[in-house]
């Protein structure tokens, strides 16, 4: 359905469950796939079907971002697509969460995306434009008790997306967001293995597969979405509708 032949796509948090699905589907769509993660990037890149490069990236590090963009350009040329997928989650209420954990969540989920947009924009200008997709969450659209740090970071990420979309529009760079519901990944469970948000009362009473969310992301990054910027795509299984009676 989607054709990214000849386009260079950088995916952060690429070795997690959703990141692996994203990297795999971009590769199958013909992209030059840059797999960016703190660990395991080289192994995943080697397993993909098509041109791929693994780079080590801590999204909170400006120097790591600079090195990742340089490596991508040296191998494939300017970056056409950035998917800000890396995320960190810690359970905790407004009163209970440790301050260092709150800051770490914001540093990864919000500052990491800011640094990514800042690092990739000059490369996309060389390409004549590009697409940035931030993986957000339903936690950025509604109250998320017990997930105060994660929810705060995702609400703030919406503001970053809109500001960047306006600032970069005249350079042909689109900035959009995908808001998944509950995905069947480790982030959906607490340390004891319990669902953080039970899904049995949803309109679609199951967790999404990573591949389903990847489909939304590929659309947002593709030329089929070329008239969209500053837009939020919701894939939540009816979460925001509330429980089915």
Distances in Å between the Cα of 106 and the Cα atoms of 101, 137, 223 are 9, 14, 31
Average pLDDT (135-142) is 96
Q: Mark whether 150 is an active-site residue.
A: yes
Q: Tokens representing 65?
A: 């971002």
- pLDDT of residue 189 exceeding 90: no
Average pLDDT (216-245) is 96
pLDDT on residue 159:
98
Average pLDDT (211-232) is 98
Tell me the average pLDDT of the chain: 96
Residue range of the domain that includes 126: 8-241
- Residues 11-62 pLDDT 10s: 999 999 999 999 999 999 999 999 999 999 999 999 999 999 999 999 999 9
Specify the residue for token string 């070795």: 15
Average pLDDT (163-192) is 93
Give the list of residues 6+ apart from residue 154 with CB closer than 8 angstroms, or none: 109, 136, 137, 139, 140
b/e code 151-162 from CB counts within 10 Å (16+ = b): bbbbbbbbebbb
Sheet containing 52-56, strands listed edge to edge, beginning at the edge strand earlier in sequence: 52-56, 32-37, 8-11, 81-84, 130-135, 173-180, 232-235
The enclosing H or E element of 45 equals: helix 41-47
pLDDT band with cut points at 50, 70 and 90 for residue 245: confident
Assess if residue 58 is contained within a domain: yes
Assess if residue 2 is contained within a domain: no
Assess if residue 24 is contained within a domain: yes
Assess if residue 3 is contained within a domain: no
Assess if residue 165 is contained within a domain: yes
pLDDT on residue 77:
98
Share of the chain above pLDDT 90, in %: 92
CATH number at residue 139: 3.40.50.720
Total structural domains within the chain: 1
Assess if residue 172 is contained within a domain: yes
Which of 65, 88, 102, 150 is catalytic? The answer is: 150
């Amino acid at each position: 359905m989607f054709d990214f032949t000849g386009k260079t796509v950088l995916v952060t948090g690429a070795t997690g469950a959703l990141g692996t699905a994203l990297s795999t589907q971009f590769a199958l769509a013909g992209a030059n796939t840059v797999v960016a993660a703190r660990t395991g990037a080289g192994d995943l890149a080697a397993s993909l079907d098509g041109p791929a490069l693994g780079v080590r990236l801590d999204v909170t590090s400006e120097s790591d971002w600079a090195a990742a963009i340089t490596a991508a350009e040296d191998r494939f040329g300017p970056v056409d697509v950035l998917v800000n997928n890396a995320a960190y989650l810690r359970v905790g209420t407004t009163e209970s969460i440790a301050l260092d954990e709150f800051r770490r969540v914001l540093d990864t989920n919000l500052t990491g995306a800011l640094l990514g947009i800042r690092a990739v924009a000059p490369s996309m200008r060389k390409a004549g434009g590009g697409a940035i997709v931030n993986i957000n969450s339903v936690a950025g659209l509604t109250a998320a008790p017990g997930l105060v740090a994660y929810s705060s970071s995702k609400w703030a990420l919406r503001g970053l997306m809109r500001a960047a979309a306006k600032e970069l529009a005249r350079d042909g760079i689109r900035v959009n967001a995908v808001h998944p519901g509950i995905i069947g990944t480790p982030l959906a469970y607490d340390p004891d293995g319990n669902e953080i948000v039970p899904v049995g009362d949803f309109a679609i009473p199951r967790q999404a597969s990573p591949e389903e969310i990847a489909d939304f992301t590929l659309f947002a990054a593709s030329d089929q979405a070329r008239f969209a910027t500053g837009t939020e795509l919701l894939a939540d299984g009816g979460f925001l509708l509330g429980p089915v009676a």
